[in-house]
Amino acid sequence: MFDSPDSAAPAEPPLIDLFALDPAGLTALLASWGEPAFRARQLHAWIHERRAPSFDAMTDLPAGLRRRLVAECRLGVLQIAAEQQSADGTRKRLYRLPDGQLIESVLMPYADGRRTACISSQAGCAMACAFCATGQMGFVRHLSPAEIVEQAWRFDQELKAQGERLSNVVLMGMGEPFHNFDAVEVALRRLMSEIGIGARHITVSTVGLVPQIDRFAALGLQVKLAISLHSTRDDERSRIMPVNRRWPIAELIAACHRYVEATGRRISFEWALIAGQNDSAEEAHRLGRLLRGLPCHVNLIPLNPTGGYAGAPSDTVAAAAFVEALASHGIPGTVRVRRGIDIDAGCGQLKSTVLQKVRPALV
> If DSSP codes are grouped into helix, strand and coil, which group holds residue 226?
strand
Cα separation values, 117 from 92, 152, 159, 197, 204, Å: 10, 6, 11, 11, 12
The DSSP letter of residue 115 is E
DSSP state of 99: T
Q: Is 147 a catalytic residue?
A: no
In angstroms, how far is the first alpha carbon of the chain from the final one?
31
Nearest to 80 by CA among 169, 151, 145: 151
Residue 60 DSSP SS3: coil
Of the listed 118, 125, 132, 347, which one is catalytic? Answer: 347
Catalytic residue among 104, 147, 270, 283: 104
Residues 226 and 206 sit within 8 Å (Cβ to Cβ): yes
CA distances from 323 to 124, 236, 295 (A): 32, 21, 16
The answer to whether 272 and 279 are in contact (CB under 8 A) is: no
Which contiguous run of DSSP H or E holds residue 91? Answer: strand 91-96
CA distances from 185 to 47, 134, 181 (A): 21, 22, 6
Residue in 128, 224, 130 with CA at minimum distance from that of residue 168 = 224
Answer whether 216's CB lies under 8 Å from 178's CB.
yes
The dihedral region occupied by 281, where left means phi > 0, alpha psi between -120 and 50, and beta the remainder, is alpha
Backbone CA torsion sign across 153, 159, 161, 163: negative
Nearest Cα to Cα of residue 91 among 300, 350, 304: 350
Q: Is 125 a catalytic residue?
A: no
What amino acid positions are annotated as catalytic residues? 104, 347
